[in-house]
Structure 1
Amino acid sequence: MKCILYFTKRKTHLLLSIVLRRIFVNQTEVNTEVFKIPAKLYRIGELVRHTPFSRQTIHNYTIMGLIREAQWTDGGHRLYDESTFRILFRIVELKKTKTLCEIKQILNSEFATN
């Protein structure tokens, strides 16, 4: 089975849903059950590898409230979800013309409307 992955969870879930429904419809009994791919959680080192930010900057942005951890490991490490990448790239765009305080206000207003 060919699988194409997208960057956003919604498109991945939608694609998986369509593929699974086609498989089940082709069987004699129609099954509408949809399976969801579990969301991947990223450690801070993975964020550092895939973004232009240092470990300390990501830590500072978390403390400031610009980004939020999705959960913690048993060992006390922060784990971030895929939405953190979108927020970090938004911060890159906004840093060209805004201060971190202004960026925080913008991000908070964007989250309030979503």
Structure 2
Amino acid sequence: MPFLSQYQTTGLLMGGGAVRRSWQLERGIFFRNAGMIPRKLYKIGEVMRYSGLSRQTVHNYTMMGLIKPLERTESGHRLYPEDVFEDLRTIMRLRRHHTLSEIKTLLKKLKKRR
């Protein structure tokens, strides 16, 4: 197991489950339906499964430029990078108070800062 923080070692003393959850929260990407999401390129079905969004929503966000596939397979399937999940989280947070066109502008500004 990698280096453990003070909070994780405290969890270790209280029982191993707390350590595993803390480590996953720090090292993995969490989404409501998935637990820890493995790092790789994702097809639209996997993005749907891990995010809980519909195929149409993921497709619409792609067509609007809110999320971008990194590449395509030989058969033309879009492949999304792992940071698509962070983008989707941001979109869902902003969706509460902004339109999709406003979100697109905000995401462009955020990406320029990175």
Same fold (TM over 0.5): yes
RMSD: 1.6
Which residue number in structure 2 is paired with residue 92 of structure 1? 92
Aligned twin of 1:63: 63
Of 11, 22, 28, which aligns to 1:7? 28
CA shift digits 1:65-109 (9 cap, x unpaired): 000001100110000011100000111100000000000000000
Moved over 3 A (4+): 2-5
- Equivalenced residue count is 83
- The answer for the alignment partner of 1:47 in structure 2 is 47
After TM superposition, the score normalised by the length of structure 1 is 0.67
Amino acid at match of 1:83: D
Larger Rg: 1
Q: Any stretches of 5+ residues in structure 2 without a counterpart?
A: 3-22, 30-38
How many percent of aligned residue pairs carry the same amino acid?
43
Aligned to 1:18: none
Note the C-alpha offset of 1:54.
0.5
